[in-house]
Chains A and B, each alone.
Chain A
Amino acid sequence: MDVFQVFIELAQSTVRLSTPLILAALAGLFTERAGIFDIGLEGKMLGAAFAAGCVAYISQSVYMGLLAAVLVSVLLSLVHGYASITQRGSQIVSGVAINFVVAGSTVILGEAWFRQGGRTPALSADGRFGTVTLPFADAVRDVPVLGPLYSGLLSGHSPLTYLAFLMVPASWWILYRTRFGLRLRAVGENPGAVDTAGISVIWLRYRGVICCGILCGIAGAYLSLAAGAGFTKGMTAGKGYIALAALIFAKWRPKNILFACLLFGFLDAFAIRYQGYAFPLIGKVPVQLMQALPYILTVILLAGFIGKAIPPKAGGVPYVKER
Chain B
Amino acid sequence: MSVPYAKLPGWAEYGLIPLVNLAVAFLISGLVVLIVGESPLEAAYHMVNGAFGRGEYIGFTLYYTTTFIFTGLAVAVAFHCGLFNIGGEGQAYIGGIGVVLACLAFDRTLPWYLVFPIAIVGAAFFGALWAMIPGWLQAKRGSHIVITTIMFNFIAASLMNYLLNRVFKPMGSMSLETRTFDAGGQLPKLDWLMSIFGLSVGSAPFNISFLLALLAAFGVWVLIWRTRLGYEMRTMGHSPAAARYAGIKEAKIIVIAMMISGGLAGMMALNPIMGEQFRMQLDFVQGAGFVGIAVALMGRSHPAGIIPAALLFGMLYQGGAEISFEMPSISRDMIVIIQGLVILFAGALEHMFRPAITRVILGLSPKTRDAAVTKGA
Could you tell me which A residues sit within 8 Å of B by CB distance? Answer: 39, 79, 83-84, 87-94, 96-105, 107-109, 111-112, 118, 238, 241, 244-245, 248, 286, 288-289, 291-292, 295-296, 298-299, 302-304, 311, 320
Contacts and interface: CB of A to CB of B under 8 A. Distances in A.
A105 B32 contact: yes
Nearest to A292: B158
Given A241-B150, A302-B137, 12 more contacts: A93-B297, A100-B343, A103-B333, A103-B336, A104-B335, A108-B331, A288-B162, A289-B158, A295-B155, A302-B141, A302-B147, A303-B143
B141 A298 contact: no
B340 A291 contact: no
A96 B265 CA distance: 18
B161 interface: yes
A97 B344 contact: yes
Contacts of B348: 83-84, 87, 89-91, 93-94, 97
A97 B297 CA distance: 12
Nearest to A291: B158
B337 A104 contact: yes
A204 to B, nearest CB: 20
A303 B337 contact: no
A107 B330 CA distance: 10
B146 interface: yes
* Max chain B Cβ within 10 angstroms of own Cβ: one of A291, A298, A299, A304: A299
A94 B344 contact: yes
Nearest to B84: A92
B152 interface: yes
3 shortest interchain CB distances as A-B pairs: A100-B340, A104-B336, A101-B340
Contact of B154 (A87, A107, A238): A238
A296 B148 CA distance: 9
Interface in B107-159: 137, 141-144, 146-148, 150-152, 154-155, 158-159
Contacts of A291: 158
Interface in B35-90: 35-37, 84, 86
Given A112-B36, A303-B137, A97 B341 contact: yes
A44 to B, nearest CB: 13
Contacts of A103: 333, 336, 340
For the complex, would chain A's binding face be called helix, strand, loop or mixed by DSSP majority?
helix
Contact of B333 (A104, A244, A311): A104
B175 interface: no
A94 B333 contact: no
A109 B36 contact: yes
B171 interface: no
Nearest to B342: A97
B362 interface: no
B340 A88 contact: no
Nearest to A82: B349
Interface in B293-335: 293, 297, 329-331, 333-335
B2 interface: yes
Nearest to B38: A112
B340 A99 contact: yes
Contacts of B330: 108
A101 B351 contact: no
A299 B137 CA distance: 9
Contacts of A92: 84, 86, 146
Given A87-B352, A92-B86, A288-B161, A97 B337 contact: no
Nearest to B3: A320
Nearest to A99: B340
Nearest to A43: B340
B137 A295 contact: no
Given A92-B84, A320-B2, A296 B155 contact: yes
Contacts of B146: 39, 92
Contacts of A320: 1-2
A303 B141 contact: yes
A97 B166 CA distance: 35
Nearest to A317: B1
B191 interface: no
A304 B141 contact: yes
B113 to A, nearest CB: 36
B276 interface: no
Given A87-B351, A105-B32, A303-B137, A96 B290 contact: yes
A112 B37 contact: yes
Interface in B255-301: 290, 293, 297
Contacts of A97: 340-341, 343-344, 347-348
A101 B61 CA distance: 23
B350 interface: yes
Nearest to A108: B333
Contacts of B158: 288-289, 291-292, 295
A195 B190 CA distance: 61
B184 to A, nearest CB: 30
30 contacts: A83-B348, A89-B349, A90-B84, A91-B348, A96-B86, A96-B343, A96-B347, A97-B347, A100-B337, A101-B337, A101-B344, A104-B335, A107-B333, A108-B32, A108-B329, A108-B330, A108-B334, A109-B32, A109-B36, A112-B35, A112-B37, A286-B162, A288-B158, A295-B151, A295-B158, A298-B151, A299-B143, A302-B143, A320-B1, A320-B2
A101 B143 contact: no
A302 B151 CA distance: 11
B131 to A, nearest CB: 14
B178 interface: no
Nearest to A113: B36
Contacts of B137: 299, 302-303
Contacts of A84: 348
Nearest to B338: A104
B141 A39 contact: no
Contacts of B336: 100-101, 103-104, 107
A105 B152 CA distance: 26
A304 B143 contact: yes
A9 B104 CA distance: 45
Contacts of B143: 299, 302-304
